[in-house]
Amino acid sequence: MVTRNPSDEEDPNLREFMAGYQAGRADAFDHLYSALVADLKAYLTALSRDSARADDLLQDTFVQIHRSRASHIPGHPVRPWVFAIAKRTYLMYQRGASRRLRRESDAGINMTATPISTQGQLDARHQVEGALRQVSSDRRQAFLLHHLFGFSFKEVAAKLGINPGAAKIRSSRASQDLRKILGDDHDAP
Amino acid sequence: MTRHSEWRRGMDLRAHIVDSLTPVRPLASPLRRTWLMVPSGVLLAATAPLLGGTRQDLSAYSPLITWGLTGLQALLGIWILGLGFREAVPGKNVSRPALVLASTLSVALLVGITLVTDAISPTVVPAGREWPFWIECVIGPMVLGAPFMLVATLMAIRAFPTRPALTGGLCGLSAGILADAGWRLGCFVSSPGHVVGSHDLAIVGLAAAGSLMAVLIDARRWR
């Protein structure tokens, strides 16, 4: 069976912590939490583009990890499993948020009020955010994790459960997409 | 958010988790779950000829062509099930070459068996009965394979697959191939047009159903 295994480089202790956590050891959970919290926070911040929201999502992710801890297979990589849960937690939040927004919009509540620093900065920020939204989710994640949070492609690959080459290609394609989108915007009358 | 409130939230989370921390039985490895499904797979492959009987001209073929090729097809089905279980594990995704190999082997084996069967004892659908035969040979294997597809997909989806559609598709394909492995011994029509248009369509249908089911179950879990 030909498979790729991007997480061979993950800390072998993680698997031991996970096994201990599944066996009901609180100290194993503490170690696991310490080993994962920084990367998870960075990942969730990259996805949500909001640090405070990422904190909420981080809590939710650990609650989901706790509920689903039996579904991790001993001896298998921990990081891809954890990041798969984090991604679904984010998607679950996003779906909930769009439902709330729809309800509020139906009720006629104005959600457009935002704090403004300078008009130019806000415009640029909106432009970049809008362009990022147009880039596919897979490419955007790889791009943000590498360029915004400074993870190496090996680390990005381990987080996303892909191989480093694919992470590099996704990030590079996201750059191309962004250049094209922002270029098109600038060209637009 | 201040460092104190972050610390506070961390402590609350820890307290919640430690309070409800009990030992759990971890999910079995993909290989172990595949082995667990082997008896059901063999039963699925044997159900159609055991319940509905075998084609009347079966003696025209050597046992290697009948039960031998059915066994080979069943092995392929089990291997694809193993791929499905493995694909479901985050970080252990099945590579593109492995997927291409699985698809190529499936098509090659199904087409090869059809051509060999037709060459030895060519039989066609009786005139005017195309529809009833078609319907029976599409619905039959799908109904037989559906429970296996359902159980396999539910087992696979527990591992939090990153590509649920592909995971379910592989489980459905496995169920289809296993169901057809026995169905081919019961259906007395060996014309390639009938086999591809109905038996193989049922396999594709089960793969699509598995894929859809996995996506729906996964979406429901994260609602």
Question: Considering chain A, what is the average pLDDT of its residues?
Answer: 79
Residue A140: both structure tokens together = 């955007």
Least CB–CB distance from A73: residue in B17, B22, B26: B26
From the list B148, B181, B168, the residue with the least C-alpha distance to B71 is: B181
Q: Is A181 left (phi over 0), alpha (psi -120 to 50) or beta?
A: alpha
Predicted TM-score (pTM) of this structure: 0.73
B-chain CB neighbours of A81 within 8 Å are 89-91, 160
pLDDT (0 to 100) of residue B82: 97
Angle at A44 between CA A103 and CA A68, to 5 degrees: 85
Other Cβ atoms within 10 Å of A33 Cβ, number: 18
**Is the Cα dihedral A47, A50, A55, A59 positive or negative?**
negative
Least CB–CB distance from A74: residue in B22, B26, B95: B26
pLDDT (0 to 100) of residue B52: 79
Q: Per-residue pLDDT tens for B161-185?
A: 989 999 999 999 999 999 999 999 8
Q: How far is CA B77 from the centre of its chain?
A: 7
Q: Per-residue pLDDT tens for A157-187?
A: 877 778 888 888 888 888 888 888 887 655 4
State the Cα–Cα distance between residues B98 and B112, nearest whole angstrom.
20
B158 vs B5 pLDDT, higher one: B158
Least CB–CB distance from A71: residue in B13, B17, B158: B158
Backbone angles phi, psi at B122, to 5 degrees: -70, 120
Q: How confident is the model at residue A135 (pLDDT cuts 50, 70, 90)?
A: confident
Percent of chain B with pLDDT over 70: 94
Q: How confident is the model at residue B195 (pLDDT cuts 50, 70, 90)?
A: very high
pLDDT (0 to 100) of residue B7: 52
Q: How confident is the model at residue A10 (pLDDT cuts 50, 70, 90)?
A: low
Q: Per-residue pLDDT tens for B1-32?
A: 444 555 556 667 788 788 888 899 999 999 99
Residues 125-144 of B with CB under 8 A from A: none
Q: Looking at the predicted structure, is the pLDDT value of residue A65 above 80?
A: yes
DSSP letters, A66-103, are HHTGGGSPTTS-SHHHHHHHHHHHHHHHHHHHHHHHHH
Nearest Cα of chain A lies from the Cα of B182 at a distance, in angstroms, of: 26
State the Cα–Cα distance between residues B87 and B166, nearest whole angstrom.
8
Most confident of A33-47, A114-128, B143-157: B143-157
Nearest Cα of chain A lies from the Cα of B31 at a distance, in angstroms, of: 11
